[in-house]
A and B are shown apart, each in its own frame.
Chain A
Amino acid sequence: MSLLIKGASVLGAAPTDVYVEGGAIREIGSLSADASADEVVDAAGLVLLPGLVDLHTHLRQPGREDAETVASGAAAAAAGGYTAVLAMANTSPVTDTAEAAVSVWELGREAGLADVFPVGAVTKGLAGEELAELSLMNRSRAGVKVFSDDGRCVSDPRVMRRALEYVKAFGGVISQHSQDPSLAPYGSACCHEGELSGRLGLPSWPGVAEEVIVARDVMLARHTGSRVHVAHASTAGTVEVLRWAKAQAEKDGSWAVTAEVTPHHLLLTTDLLAGYDPTFKVNPPLRPAEDVEALRAALADGTIDAVATDHAPHARQDKEHAFVDAAFGMLGLEEALSVVSTVMVSSGLLDWSGVARVMSTTPARIAGLEGHGRPIAVGEPANLTLADPAATYVVDRDRSLSLSRNNPWHDRKLTGRVVSTFLRGKKTYGE
């Protein structure tokens, strides 16, 4: 099986041809016009990127297969240009054992649309008290390296300290959902604390509830000499703490802090809550424009390392409640590249090689994935994404491959669109 991608602009550079065989890139450069392959893709005007890697996806299987399955989520991932996704552990039952991790990993292999890497829970049952079997999950075939209680914060500093220490044995990383539950109670706190939450009478989620945990965790990472990853950073204050922490970590060299931002926190603002539409209910909540500006700048200058979707599918009935009772979360996989393109590329904050860095190379490095986020070079696995930088379209939530429809981008015009996705040379999405 061979594949020829003709005239693609690799990371936005001058057009070239890419020849793929046996799942790997065999040749790059100007190939003769009649060069033959089993499949030839005309990529004139398209940008070729390394397959995207999502550090933060909720696939809902096991437990809520009506909202998403590993297979439907992987299909949505492929449609979004992703070749690898990390599936969060807050399923039912929780992914807190080697067996649970392996079963998610196998479901991903069966679907064959994207590599699905389970994230292991940090604590048993996400209860925040006892460490889960972190090392057994790591030794399993799933090879878990990223651990998170996402949905919950590892809020007890003693437990967080032990987790950070423990994963040092096998180079693991703790991805923290930073939410001090006494400042922003789980389940109830649902609106950025500010003038609007005051007016709407919605339980407030102050930015400081995130910032105090980020500040604490970087100190714990420094103390333990370990690696902490800040999931879905959402405030300007968090960016300030990260900037300081990264400078320290670089000086010390013995520990590391990384961070991700979601597409929705890069574009949507808290005023969307004025109509009490639960589509826009997400955790952490949408923030004001000042925070959005700070997050964009931090992604551009590397203070924030990666874009991660926090794709959170929900069945219709779980969103059709009063705002405070509705489920948290929004879809994200299929439009992520378009949002980053619209927000970061169109504005000149990032070029396409920057996009490849924040959506593929760096996330793969953070998660310790060896076959993803590789340079587009001869001998490398052909995990590739073709995007049309000029395509402008209006999002239609009914065209989604996800089983859910809680799409915050519905009816919104975006620029830049995934055209096709290849996993080890096999087309997983596109014409």
Chain B
Amino acid sequence: MTRHLLSIDDVSAEEIQQLFATAAEMHDVQKREVKKLPALRGRTVINLFFEDSTRTRSSFEIAGKWLSADVINLSAKGSSASKGESLRDTVLTVTAMGVDGLVMRHSASGAAHQVAGWLDIPVVNAGDGTHEHPTQALLDGYTLQRQLGGPGSLEGKRIAIVGDLTHSRVFRSNVKSLTKLGASVVAVAPPTLMPAGVTDWAKADGFATSYHLDEVLPEADAVMMLRVQRERMSGGFFPTSREYTVGYGLTRQRLGMLREGAPILHPGPMNRGLEISPEAADAASSRILDQVSAGVAIRMSVLYHLLAGEESA
């Protein structure tokens, strides 16, 4: 594995499987009474969050603590630009205190990438703007692979990713990781929520796009619903939430179009009744809570591989 995890581009298919294998071991730790491994004892990890995200931050925090690392949470809300300090100065100051690894969330695309160029410690991208969220994609892939039958089971499977693709870092990371694992991805959204140049991009990276959820669902082996930000409504991306739900929501009616047992994923937090109906969110095939617990295991695995030094696989 490379020194950092900034993008799914940083890991090969084999390395993803290694991360999954380690995650599976870590996952078992969660069932123990004493949830501690000594792997990162004496190491310090900073969770530097320039943007709020309680669930991602706590997932990384728990992962670090279960590996016995000292975890420090720092929130640096508001862009550093508005405080007059450059991003470079902010991260150099924060990490000068003897830090071994940086987990970073930022509202700006590319921020983790830039920061990694200024530091000589491993950087984990915990979400950068509308660019990538690699640990989310890994936990999604891990959850799906376990559900569909273990290593290799994603090969040839058709995964639908549905929703606001333009503004979704989860989409950008997942399309890369799922494709690497051999799945065939179809990205579904209204034309206004498709990223610029997606046609060329899809051709180059080998995924499909569609404006029509009803045509895609019956063929899908799994479906991943993306969160729709309420503020997109005022951005003129679609007329009303009602119209969005009719076109692109995983409604109760659409549940019946899915193949028997096809897993339903959502990175959360959900807008119940908008992109996903309560029936779908709570369906037996919903893997939404599994994603959350897999999140800790995956992040333990990532921190272990980047920070455990010589012992690392």
Contacts and interface: CB of A to CB of B under 8 A. Distances in A.
A22 interface: no
A195 B110 contact: no
Interface stretch (A58-66, A118-126, A315-323, A360-368): A315-323
Given A195-B196, A196-B197, A201 B86 contact: no
Given A201-B129, A202-B109, A276-B113, A320 B89 contact: yes
Interface in B171-224: 172, 195-198, 200-201, 204
A324 interface: yes
A379 interface: no
Given A321-B79, A321-B87, A200 B197 contact: no
A235 interface: no
A364 B166 CA distance: 45
Nearest to A275: B113
Contact of A320 (B79, B87, B166): B87
B55 interface: no
B34 interface: no
Interface string A295-318: 000000000000000000000111
Contacts of A318: 86
Contacts of B172: 199, 201
Contacts of B166: 198
Contacts of B200: 195
Given A276-B114, A317-B89, A321-B81, A194 B197 contact: yes
B117 to A, nearest CB: 8
Interface in B101-129: 106, 108-111, 113-114, 128-129
Contact of B198 (A198, A201, A316, A324): A198
A325 interface: yes
B195 A198 contact: yes
Contacts of A217: none
Contacts of B68: none
B196 A321 contact: no
A323 B112 CA distance: 11
Contact of A322 (B108, B132, B197): B108
Among B111, B128, B196, find the residue whose CB has the most chain A CB atoms closer than 10 A: B196
Contacts of B128: 201
B114 A201 contact: no
Contacts of A196: 197
B169 interface: yes
Contacts of B197: 193-199
B80 interface: yes
Interface in A377-427: none
A277 B116 CA distance: 12
A324 B89 contact: no
Interface string A87-121: 00000000000000000000000000000000000
Interface of A: 193-202, 204, 206, 275-278, 316-318, 320-326
25 contacts: A194-B196, A195-B196, A195-B197, A197-B197, A198-B197, A198-B198, A198-B201, A200-B109, A200-B110, A201-B109, A201-B110, A201-B132, A201-B172, A202-B109, A275-B113, A276-B111, A276-B114, A317-B89, A320-B86, A321-B86, A321-B88, A322-B87, A322-B111, A323-B111, A324-B109
The 7 A-B residue pairs with the shortest CB-CB distance, nearest first, are: A195-B197, A276-B110, A198-B195, A322-B108, A201-B130, A201-B131, A320-B86
Interface of B: 79-81, 85-89, 106, 108-111, 113-114, 128-132, 166, 169, 172, 195-198, 200-201, 204
